[in-house]
Chain A
């Protein structure tokens, strides 16, 4: 009888080791008002804070600041969307060429999932056609344990994102591209961001 009970307990204990319930239920994008994160790359710091819940461009969104600059982020059932406000400067005026939400990360996070889309549009600026091609693609590489100054976190999803934006006309071309590695910890949010050779690690967080 004791062996059966012991066997059952052993099976149950081993059943709990996959942590799949935690990954299914944790909030990888906490956005409570007042929540703040401080990142350090060794020479540079990033301070991010959720300032308010608001409605922006017909979406319920979180208004947050990154080193004082404002961004809107909307959390939907299928993903995390950022509001892009890209403009073409000409003659002292800025012409909007992309003002919309774009999916940055697909939810729920799942190892091996990928997503991506491309937005192509054009506008007329002082008689010239200006074209935009903005591609955002991502992939969840997997989950792992990480050790950053703010602590050791388990079940952290590693996400790769490619963000390429080309704005061009007959006399003007601008190309911005970034290959970004982001690491999201359960109930903490972004723990590491690695972009353009700079690796920012979470050093402090509050209000989560």
Chain B
């Protein structure tokens, strides 16, 4: 009985997150907005879920020849306290900045704190999420506020 109950609590969700954000610290001198596209995998363990996500963040620069983007790999936990869901993630990001033929790239640490409002329709889960995402290295930091739509399919 307890095994059946446990298995029914474990569910997996895969999906897509797409969002738009604005820099609130660090990058606002060069960047006006940022768009994100992530794939995520979530494994529910009752009220908590283990989350994995990976995707690209494309920054819209004020100077159109300047290009900035990062590729992010995050792992974390989410906690569901109906009707909301708290999401925390942490992981490395690969940041690439370029101007004409010149390019700089490197690894940074990124983290994300989000608050979602999930709704489930059969196997489809939809959640608008407000989140803060930080990029850090040993002596610099930048932060963005995102509004994200999270679309998942429960396996």
Chain A residues proximal to chain B, CB less than 8 Å: 8, 11-12, 14-27, 77-78, 106-108, 110-114, 140, 154-155
Contact = CB atoms under 8 A, between A and B. Distances in A.
A12 B108 CA distance: 8
B98 interface: yes
A29 B107 CA distance: 25
Given A11-B92, A15-B93, A23 B140 contact: yes
Contact of A23 (B65, B92, B104, B136): B104
Contacts of A12: 90-92, 109
A20 B108 contact: yes
Of B103, B107, B109, B140, the most chain A CB neighbours within 10 A belong to: B140
A78 B106 CA distance: 23
Given A16-B107, A19-B106, A21-B136, 19 more contacts: A15-B93, A18-B95, A19-B139, A20-B95, A20-B106, A21-B108, A21-B135, A22-B140, A23-B140, A24-B30, A24-B68, A27-B29, A77-B63, A107-B30, A107-B63, A110-B98, A110-B103, A112-B102, A154-B139
A202 B138 CA distance: 24
Contacts of B109: 12, 15-16
Contacts of B141: 21, 25
Contacts of A110: 97-99, 102-104
A111 B30 CA distance: 17
A23 B142 CA distance: 11
Interface in B125-142: 135-142
A37 B49 CA distance: 54
B120 interface: no
Contacts of A21: 26, 95, 108, 135-137, 140-142
Contacts of A25: 26-27, 29, 140-142
A172 B129 CA distance: 70
A22 B27 CA distance: 10
A25 B2 CA distance: 53
B86 interface: no
A78 B142 contact: no
A107 B62 CA distance: 11
A16 B102 contact: no
Nearest to A26: B140
B7 interface: no
Contacts of B66: 108
A15 B98 contact: no
A162 B48 CA distance: 61
A22 B135 CA distance: 10
